Structure 1
Amino acid sequence: MHPLPTLTLLPLLAWLALPAGAVAINDNLDIGGAVRARIDYDPDRDIEKLSFDTAFLTATYNSDSWIGAAKYRFYGKAYPFDYTDKIGDISFAEYAWIGYKFDESRQVQVGLNKIPFGLLPYAGSTFFETLGSVIGLEDIANLGVKYIQQQDDWNLQLGYYLRPADQGQGTSRGGRTYATSVATADDYVVDGSDNHERDILVGRLARNLKLGNWQSEIGASALTSTLHNQDSRDSGRRNALAAHYLGKNGPWGVQLQATRQVMNPQNPGSDKLVSFGSFDGTFNVAAKGNLYIADLSYDIPGTLGWLSGVKVYGNYSLFDKDESSFEDSQRFILGTSFSLEDLWIAVEWLHGKHDPYIGGSSYTQSLGAGGSDRWENQLYTNIGYYF
């Protein structure tokens, strides 16, 4: 898709400055979106920036039988994409699907939809998300079909996906998507690979139950796919298994997940790394490892002055790699989110080691062999006006 011209985007941004509220086109169709800003503070790298983050448009459709949803994002010109000339130079779909409801308990979705794996919709309370999002196991949408059935306390979801999302607009060879997926490495990625993921099968089974005072969900997920290497012309496999727990007791919330991921690529070089990409960049991920996630949150009741919907949370994720010479990746986030009039705001302290997105650790190698062998810190704030 071509970048949105600046003259086209200006009226759009002006329209977004109108009072909040999605536009109901009719009884079934709503059009909405958001404009977001970000604040990055990292004294170690002398970064202190207030920047445009993203603008996105959404559409949702819901009738007695037919359903659907779409979301398209625009980035560019501002940090960390200040190497581009204008907003829209980087843009891609997050999801775009249509569905049919057989009845109140069964439906099918076709198109670019979220894969049913692990904790849903996210593996924690954080805006920045966990390490699962950068090894392709959290907040991921692929092109295919998904079946959902709710039977009493049981929820079953099955998906077959032909491949990851189409590449949108950007500068990367394989990272022009929202969701982190197996990708063609850019030239700057040392030991990068060129694998295409195909025939992705995903299944998730979860049960709601009461454990003491905790309203809980316990579930298990499985994923398997083909990794076809474009250089060797041979195919390997990607397999992942996960078990999760979600609990709510009054204002307290707990989320736990353990995941095993094993990739056996047929790279012409090392089989210990697979290149992934998203948000206009590509990087290496260790082929085999375990992902652990723990999240604790507390919803503060009522209002605090002008603030409402206040949540505080802590989230820890660990990517424990099989290869003994690789350094494990860790991410710890303390944060809060809340509403201020028509704004939704998240403020998070990011603390990471061998994490490509925190501090000055290596972007291309942190999730593989490792990056800077020290804990990196930065403060991140996202401010969104949603309509």
Structure 2
Amino acid sequence: MNLFNRRTLPALGALPLLAAIALPAGAVAINDNLDIGGAVRARVDYDPDRDIEKLSFDTAFLTASYNSDSWIGAAKYRFYGDAYPYDYTDRIGDISFAEYAWIGYKFDESRQFQVGLNKIPFGLQPYFGSTFFESLGNVIGLEDIQDLGVKYIHQQGDWNLQLGYYLRPADQGQGTSRGGRTYATSVATADDYVVDGSDNHERDILVGRLARNLKLGAWQSEVGFSALTSELENQDTRDSGRRNALAVHYLGKNGPWGVQLQAARQDMTPENPGSDKLVSFGSFDGTFNVAAKGDLYVADLSYDVAGTFGWLSGVKVYGNYSLFDKHESSFEDSQRFILGTSFSLKDLWIAVEWLHGKHDPYIGGGSYTQSLGVGGSDRWENQLYANIGYYF
């Protein structure tokens, strides 16, 4: 059963987008410390192989941020539904969930802690590259992940240390999936349509990240190391396994050029009643299998185009390649290559990306549930994706 259409990255409908264009831009400053904002976004999907040509509603979200001399905080809540790929729902909001919601305290300019649903400090930050669609790191549960817990951040000169303890992943929001009603991709209870699906709950997540800024010739650089370990409680066997992950990364900037590199290893030992070679993950109202053991490699090259061209500004062009090299010899490795550009067009922010993937659950309609596990369609798939956002 191909459930690719149950989940892709955010998209917004044409009518809400056109209505929003008439609104004034800029977050609303409630007072000197509190800002309220949000966005409405549309998406374009073009895949001639599957006869898909769509302009549709992507997402609407609301944000709040607070910043004082000592106290800080932020929250973001997303709404989806009633449009591709969620046209199996009746209304916008039938699928909805928090992206983050946390409060924090600043001891001074170099030390702070955050409590609540906040981003785990693992690998390249804030994302594993320049793309809007994100890398394969996102769908194996390492990139752009928010969990419920406490994070401590300490900046000491050129060194940055972040430590986090998280009780569990985000609470389930609204949707139709058993275990995928979240923004972040996390270990989940598999839906019935996932063959060889598992039911694990992740608990007691410990994460650490140490990075240093330095100059390497003409390149302003950051090098870093990250580690994650957690408990996987299987709800069928009542036994517990573990999830461990390590990563090293490099980020460099030289004028308009940017480079991001990362190598990571994920090693999961679930106590499933069946196969221990697969662990089910979920997000965006869907669940799917991921190989329990594998190495992730990411390379990203970007270029910032200087200047303003009429209404056009902030132009960036980029290429991003990610590989999930699975340790199980009978599993097919997953690959994703993205060429894209992002820019501002007057009051709109736009990303246009050519997606090229193999054994990728979100590109070209391959096997949604098995591509990151045993593998999907054994060929390169292509599609064009664009996201158009009005932020206020």
Task: Normalising by structure 1, report the TM-score.
Answer: 0.96
| Distance in 2 separating the partners of 1:176 and 1:360 | 21
| Distance in 2 separating the partners of 1:70 and 1:286 | 32
Deviation of 1:11 (Å)? 10
Match of 1:113 among 118, 121, 135: 118
Q: What residue identity is the alignment partner of 1:210?
A: K
Percent of aligned pairs sharing the same letter: 90
Q: What residue identity is the alignment partner of 2:381?
A: E
Deviation of 1:13 (Å)? 9.7
Matches within 5 A, 1:1-387: 17-387=22-392
Contact 1:16 1:34 in 2 (8 A): no
Query: Which residue number in structure 2 is paired with residue 6 of structure 1?
Result: none
Bigger CA drift: 296-305 or 329-338?
296-305
Deviation of 1:306 (Å)? 2.4
* RMSD, aligned CA: 1.3
SS at 1:133 equivalent:
helix
Deviation of 1:19 (Å)? 1.2
Deviations 1:134-189 (A, max 9, x none): 00000000000000000000000000000000000000000000000000000000
Deviation of 1:303 (Å)? 1.7
Q: 4+ residue runs of structure 1 moved beyond 2 angstroms?
A: 10-17
| Distance in 1 separating the partners of 2:79 and 2:58 | 9
Q: Which has the higher contact order (CA 8 A, sep 6+)?
A: 2
Q: What residue identity is the alignment partner of 2:153?
A: I
Query: Which residue number in structure 2 is paired with residue 5 of structure 1?
Result: none
Deviation of 1:304 (Å)? 2.9
Residue segments in structure 2 that go unaligned for 5+ positions in a row: 1-14
| Distance in 1 separating the partners of 2:255 and 2:363 | 33
Alpha carbons of 1:35 and 1:11: their partners in 2 closer, same or farther (altered >3 Å)?
closer
SS at 1:355 equivalent:
coil
| Distance in 2 separating the partners of 1:74 and 1:243 | 34
| Distance in 2 separating the partners of 1:216 and 1:280 | 38
Q: What residue identity is the alignment partner of 1:193?
A: S
| Distance in 2 separating the partners of 1:318 and 1:12 | 35
| Distance in 1 separating the partners of 2:201 and 2:19 | 40
Contact 1:16 1:35 in 2 (8 A): no
Residue segments in structure 1 that go unaligned for 5+ positions in a row: 1-9
Contact 2:320 2:339 in 1 (8 A): yes
| Alignment size in residue pairs | 378
| Distance in 2 separating the partners of 1:208 and 1:20 | 35
SS at 1:303 equivalent:
coil
Task: Normalising by structure 2, report the TM-score.
Answer: 0.95
| Distance in 1 separating the partners of 2:331 and 2:19 | 49
Alpha carbons of 1:252 and 1:15: their partners in 2 closer, same or farther (altered >3 Å)?
closer
Contact 1:155 1:206 in 2 (8 A): yes
Q: What residue identity is the alignment partner of 2:189?
A: T
Contact 1:214 1:248 in 2 (8 A): yes
Deviations 1:52-109 (A, max 9, x none): 0000000000000000000000000000000000100000000000000000000000
Deviation of 1:305 (Å)? 3.6
Deviation of 1:12 (Å)? 12
Query: Which residue number in structure 2 is paired with residue 7 of structure 1?
Result: none
